[in-house]
Amino acid sequence: MNETSESIQKKTRHLPSAVLIWLASFILVVFAAMMVVGSVPSVRQEPPHPLSVFIAGIIGASVLLCLWLFVRWSSCCWRNLRRSSMGLAVLATSIAIFYTGENWRGKRAWENCKRALEAKGTVLDWNAYIPPPVPDEQNIFNAPKMQEWFVGSSSELSQRLNTGPHGWEAAGESRNASPVIVAELTVVPAKASLDSGKTELTLRFDDPGARAQAKKLINDAVGPAAIGAQDYTFFTRPLNQIKPVHILLVADKVPTIKEVAELFPSDTIAPPSLWYRWYSNRLQVESVGTNSFRVALNLEEVQTATDYLARSDRFETDFDLIRQALKRPYARMEGDYQEQFTMPIPNFVCIRTLAQTLAQRAQCHLLLGQPEKALRELTLFHDVSRLLEARPTGKPMSLVAAMINAAITGLYVDTVADGMRLQAWHEPQLIALEEQLQDIHLPRYAVEAMQDETAGVCRALETTGIQAFRSFGKTNLWQKIKNPEFLLSIAMPRGWFYQNMAIVALQRQKALSGFDRAREIVLPGELDKVSLEAKTVFNDFSPYTFLAARAVPNWTRAWQTLARNQTMANEAFLVCALERYRIAHGQYPETLDVLAPRYVEKIPQDIIGGGPLKYRRTDDGQFALYSIGWNERDDGGQAVLNKDGRPNSEQGDWVWRYPTAQ
């Protein structure tokens, strides 16, 4: 009984000491964390959440208490100390064996993979992709302002060029301007007597053809228009000369504002682009009485072509500077290329904004009947892509650069097509545009990017580990500590990096099998197989694949975009030749074959599968031109749209859809 009482008393005495040690440890950990927050500038700028400090204090205090109890238990007697030492030795040996085994397995997997790929001609040495120096006087980026404007993440040129309706001072002026009314609707019952003396059009609300009639009336009222890449709608007619049309709308009951807005198709005023881009509403409907509505232009998104050109003429000096620089043959950015993730990168935002501005200026010139000036803008637009092509070697190329190049190429082709729609191009411009379009080879840069990035990513994994995948700018110690992946990179075996390198190299190499470099055609079936296999490989978390999963992009989506944009460039090239043929003969040809060799040197093939592009002359004197698309099936020239109006890249044909001159 006395022994039991003494044991209870001892436990009672020991409990407060353990609690006190835990509390002291908790205070010590929290105090240390607060000292770090207050003394380290990088941490002070981005302090941790108080809850994080509290949790760290609990964990730290608990760990310290456990260590104290373990040391006390081990020091009680020689037997405990011997057992502890043996346990620690076994644990250390097991860890050493585990790390040695994983490192050996990973290194062997990488060496086997590297040897197999190099036997097929794959170059995995990053040094082979470092661009050689070029003479300063022949380097675009050594010309005045080029490195400053087009390299890095910020550029004052980009800020000045941001002339969209939400970034230009014109938006403020538009909000203060009087609304431009384009239509006035009066709703009358079906049984009412109709007085059409003051109306241009009488519509029945339930008539399926009402939308087409309303669209034509509005288009006639506002005149020719075009939609720019920065959400502007450009008009040739001065806004104060647009007079509203009067529409009598026959309906059983007064429709809502939304129902009236739906009366006007989405392509009212100007058709959607060649790429079916979505545009914000260009018309605003408001109720002005119990049975009357008014339709006005959205002034934040409206400019006359003359006004836009006058406002953007301020950049002519900048454009001339760029034109002069682009006469140089080479494009090598200044910087350190030893690691892929530290090498200089193009300023994609500035390049895109410049392309959008040039495209919009070209559209305005086309609206004003100035095709030669429009060609001048498009020629600079076309040449700007050289900033992304890394001539003369084309190395190193990133997939982001290749995709941005594809995106601005899409905008370039879209602008060419807008000129077709407006019937603005003449023979001299069509010849020049053919030459520019013939120079577009988007898949080549994608293939180069896949090869370059494979070597670059493997180099990054081998030399710097997982830190290479962290976002730019997060380089201070506190941010590293906050990143669990950084902590994992310290603890994980080096062999896991090699295992991930092998997966990266193999998956990227398989993606190249979807493009036949000899025939320059895309093989959708092969790419779909590669994507399906990649999903299987990365479906479950594995230490051998979790880094590779972040370094292997969606190849199918990338190749769909590249193939579609290249197809549209090829189709635009043929349409230029078709227009030249029509000008000479008064009609389009029966087949594409008659275009060669007078109008084109060679008829481009369908990049999907390598067959001929589909062409036929239609009964109305127009033509149909299309690729069989990703499904590799001829759907008769029918495009498939998603619910949002965007093209479905996997289904339907890839169709040249702009109407051309009669």
Over residues 521-573, the pLDDT tens digits come to 999 999 999 988 888 888 888 888 888 888 888 888 999 999 999 999 999 99
Q: Using pLDDT thresholds of 50, 70 and 90, give the confidence band for residue 85.
A: confident
Q: What is the pLDDT, as a whole number, of residue 647?
A: 76
DSSP symbols for 165-208: TTTSHHHHHHHHSPP-EEEEEEEE-TTSPP-GGG-SEEEETT-T
Residue 468 pLDDT: 44
Query: Best-predicted range by mean pLDDT among 132-146, 176-190, 206-220, 299-313?
Result: 132-146
Give yes or no: residues 173 and 297 share one domain: yes
pLDDT at residue 170 tops 90: no
Residue in the structure block whose two tokens are 């409206």: 302
Question: How confident is the model over 179-193, as pLDDT tens digits?
Answer: 889 999 999 887 766
Tokens 């794959």 belong to residue: 122
Average pLDDT (422-429) is 96
Backbone angles phi, psi at 541, to 5 degrees: -70, 135
pLDDT tens by residue, 122-132: 999 999 999 99
In angstroms, rounded to a whole number, what is the distance separating the alpha carbons of residues 636 and 628?
Answer: 9
Residue 447 reports pLDDT greater than 60: yes
Does the pLDDT value for residue 165 go beyond 50?
yes
Locus of tokens 């980009």: 158
- Tell me what pLDDT residue 43 has: 52
Domain boundary among 304, 319, 352: 304
> What's the total number of domains in the chain?
2
User: Are the C-beta atoms of residues 327 and 268 closer than 8 Å to each other?
Assistant: no
| Residue 204, φ and ψ in degrees, nearest 5 | -95, 130
41 versus 233: the higher-pLDDT residue is 233
Q: What is the pLDDT of residues 508-526, one digit of tens each?
A: 888 898 899 999 999 999 9
Task: Specify if 339 maps to a domain.
Answer: no
pLDDT for 236? 93
> 3-state DSSP call for residue 418?
helix
pLDDT of residue 1: 47
185 & 297 share domain: yes
Tokens for 45? 């700028």
Whether pLDDT at 616 is above 50: yes
Q: How much is the pLDDT for 365?
A: 98
- Give the pLDDT mean for 638-651: 80
Secondary structure string (H, E, C) spanning 499-551: HHHHHHHHHHHHHHCCEECCCCEECHHHHHHHHHHHHHHHCCCCCCCHHHHHH
User: In this predicted structure, what is the pLDDT of residue 645?
Assistant: 66
- In this prediction, residue 301 carries a pLDDT of 74
Q: How far is CA 209 from the centre of its chain?
A: 38
**589 or 229: whose pLDDT is higher?**
589
Confidence of residue 197 (pLDDT cuts 50, 70, 90): low
For residue 429, being part of any structural domain is answered with no
* d(C-alpha 30, C-alpha 54), whole Å: 7
Q: Please indicate whether residue 608 or residue 275 has the higher confidence score (pLDDT).
A: 608
Residue 625, strand partner residues: 615, 656
Residue 176 has a pLDDT of 43
| pLDDT given for residue 565 in this prediction | 95
Per-residue pLDDT at 36 exceeds 70: no
650 domain-assigned: no
Residue-wise pLDDT for 368-425, tens only, equals 999 999 999 999 999 999 999 888 888 899 999 999 999 999 999 999 999 999 999 9
**Residue whose C-alpha is closest to residue 131's, from 329, 325, 337, 327:** 337
Question: pLDDT at position 595, please?
Answer: 96
66 and 178 in one domain? no
In a domain, 114, yes or no: no
CA angle 645, 647, 648 (to 5 degrees): 115
Q: Residue 516 falls within a domain, yes or no?
A: no
**Percent of the chain's residues with pLDDT above 70:** 84
pLDDT band at 196 (very low <50, low <70, confident <90, very high): low
Q: How confident is the model at residue 304 (pLDDT cuts 50, 70, 90)?
A: very high
Instruction: From 251, 273, 304, give the residue that closes a domain.
Output: 304
The model's pLDDT over 456-482, given as tens digits with 9 standing for 90+, comes to 888 888 876 544 444 433 444 445 545
Return the pLDDT at 661: 44
Burial class of residue 88, CB neighbours in 10 A (0-12, 13-18, 19+)? exposed
In which band, very low, low, confident or very high, does the pLDDT at 272 lie, cut at 50, 70 and 90? low
Is pLDDT at 173 greater than 50 in this prediction?
no
Name every residue whose Cβ is closer than 8 Å to that of residue 145 and which is 6 or more positions away in sequence.
157, 318, 321, 325
Determine the pLDDT at residue 489.
65
Q: What is each CA distance from 129 to 125, 146, 151, 331, in whole angstroms?
A: 8, 23, 19, 15
Mean pLDDT of the chain: 84
If asked whether residues 175 and 288 sit together in one domain, one would say yes
Query: What domain range includes position 9?
Result: 2-76
* Judgement on whether residues 173 and 67 belong to the same structural domain of the protein: no
pLDDT band at 598 (very low <50, low <70, confident <90, very high): very high
* Separation CA 304–CA 322 (nearest Å): 26
Q: How far apart are CA 414 and CA 569, in angstroms?
A: 9
Q: What are phi and psi of 611, to 5 degrees?
A: -80, 180
pLDDT score of 364: 97
Could you say which of 304, 327, 357 is where a domain stops?
304
Q: Is residue 135 part of a domain?
A: no
Rounded percentage of the chain residues whose pLDDT exceeds 90: 46
Q: Is residue 88 part of a domain?
A: no
Structural contact between residues 369 and 429, judged by C-beta atoms closer than 8 angstroms = no
In a domain, 182, yes or no: yes
pLDDT for 377 equals 98
